[in-house]
Amino acid sequence: MNGQRPWSFRMTDTRAQVQRWDGLVLGASIATLDEDGYGAIHDGALAWRGDTLAWVGARADLPGAPAELAREVIEASGWITPGLVDCHTHLVFAGDRAREFEMRLQGASYEEIARSGGGIVSSVRAVRESVEDDLFAQSVARARALVADGATTLEIKSGYGLDLENERKMLRVARRIGTELGITVRTTYLAAHALPPEFAGRPDAYIDAVIEWLPVLHAEGLVDAVDAFCEGIGFSPAQTRRVFEAARALGLPVKLHADQLSDLGGAGLVAEFGGLSADHVEHSSLDGVRAMAEAGAVAVLLPGAFHVLRETKLPPLDAFREHGVRMALATDCNPGTSPLQSMRQAMQLACTHFRLTPEEALRGATVHAAQALGLPDRGVLRTGARADFVLWDIAHPAELGYWLGGRLVRAVYAAGTRLAP
């Protein structure tokens, strides 16, 4: 579909010469996102040394001849953006829930499926029955798909184990994915995701167990943040508060599945605890929006779940804009409600369903998503930032939220290392 704009990609090896930078890309336009609009630089120059960007600017402003400045010089066309940041995923899981997808199309609601033994609990059974290597093999394939379409940072949640050993197994797999693919993976402890069968009718006792497991897994270096599912079919605000208090005692940041199906005050609870983000937020109230704005919490929009569940209740987008709440985007990659393996597709769905502008969608998939993970070193292209960037075969950044499918990635770099293709 982009055959009319052939990509020019030529490398010149200058290793025999004195070098300052490891790599330098020339000629492509750069969406820095470091100022209003796209922060566009045309006929740009982007250089890195090690895992850090060393130069971002116009080719004409380079402080010398390219071959004298860099060990590797790449001539390119198209656009460069920051690497995409998927700040909300459940991509470590086993099997699928395609049958539930069929049930929903036949009229069953999300709540009905969950209460009949489907939903999250069915994924729990599959994870518990999987050995760690098999769980890794299934999950890393999904992560590779995200990276191939421009993602360089992923958040991965537990929450399909719901006991100590299986939550540990999920978090170990998540760590292993980051090591295997050479990307950043931030792990989130989501044991407060659903009530496991062995705790049926005893949700407070289960929350006791969730709180007991947390310091164990944190001491093993497996937990970067803590999440919960605060909803009528999940856990109450009071139970969620207990989990958040345990996280705070360990110095761990919190985020929340908030106000997806009803308004239980989840957005306000995140704000009260100084949380990183409130995610879903379709039913968040104006009071919740104001609290998020004051606390600096990010609203993570999940258009994949909105799309698959055929929801009609939009998040309070105008209120977020009015009060200056940053809006991030994520795939919510999971087997039940968002089997989405492309951040670019999440951007397209956000533009279509939520009427985000392409610029809002790109910021939501980069700088704001990085903020939702507490990672200020990425999401923009500026000197000193992490060298995570993507070269795209496009004529304008709006294409990233325009095309349905297809291949637009030319190259993906994480920490200065080329990952794909």
**Known binder of ligand: residue 17?**
no
**Known binder of ligand: residue 110?**
no
Which pLDDT score is estimated for 420? 78
Residue intervals in the chain for CATH 2.30.40.10: 21-82+382-418
Which pLDDT score is estimated for 358? 97
pTM value is 0.93
Which pLDDT score is estimated for 11? 42
Which pLDDT score is estimated for 348? 98
**Known binder of ligand: residue 193?**
yes
* CATH code reported for the domain at 84-372: 3.20.20.140
Residue intervals in the chain for CATH 3.20.20.140: 84-372
**Known binder of ligand: residue 337?**
yes
Which pLDDT score is estimated for 118? 77
Which pLDDT score is estimated for 402? 96
**Known binder of ligand: residue 90?**
yes
Which pLDDT score is estimated for 421? 81
**Known binder of ligand: residue 283?**
no
**Known binder of ligand: residue 97?**
yes
Which pLDDT score is estimated for 122? 87
**Known binder of ligand: residue 332?**
yes
CATH T-level fold of 21-82+382-418: Urease, subunit C; domain 1 (2.30.40)
The tens-digit pLDDT sequence of the chain (421 residues) is 343 333 344 444 444 444 589 999 999 999 999 988 999 999 999 999 999 999 999 999 999 999 999 999 999 999 999 999 999 999 999 988 888 888 888 888 877 877 777 778 889 999 999 999 999 999 999 999 999 999 999 999 999 999 999 999 999 999 999 999 999 999 999 999 999 999 999 999 999 999 999 999 999 999 999 999 999 999 999 999 999 999 999 999 999 999 999 999 999 999 999 999 999 999 999 999 999 999 999 999 999 999 998 999 999 999 999 999 999 999 999 999 999 999 999 999 999 999 999 999 999 999 999 999 999 999 999 999 999 999 999 999 999 999 998 999 999 999 999 997 8
Secondary structure (H, E, C), the chain: CCCCCCCCCEEEECCCCCCCECEEEECCEEECCCCCCCCEECCEEEEEECCEEEEEEEHHHCCCCHHHHECEEEECCCEEEECEEECCCCCCCCCCCHHHHHHHHCCCCHHHHHHCCCCHHHHHHHHHHCCHHHHHHHHHHHHHHHHHCCEEEEEEECCCCCCHHHHHHHHHHHHHHHHHHCCEEEEEEEEECCCCHHHCCCHHHHHHHHHHHHHHHHHCCCCCEEEEEECCCCECHHHHHHHHHHHHHCCCCEEEEECCCCCCCHHHHHHHCCCCEEEECCCCCHHHHHHHHHHCCEEEECHHHHHHCCCCCCCCHHHHHHHCCCEEECCCCECCCECCCCHHHHHHHHHHHCCCCHHHHHHHCCHHHHHHCCCCCCCCCCCCCECCEEEECCCCHHHHHCCCCCCCEEEEEECCEEEEC
Which pLDDT score is estimated for 349? 98
**Known binder of ligand: residue 280?**
no
Which pLDDT score is estimated for 226? 98
**Known binder of ligand: residue 368?**
no
**Known binder of ligand: residue 4?**
no
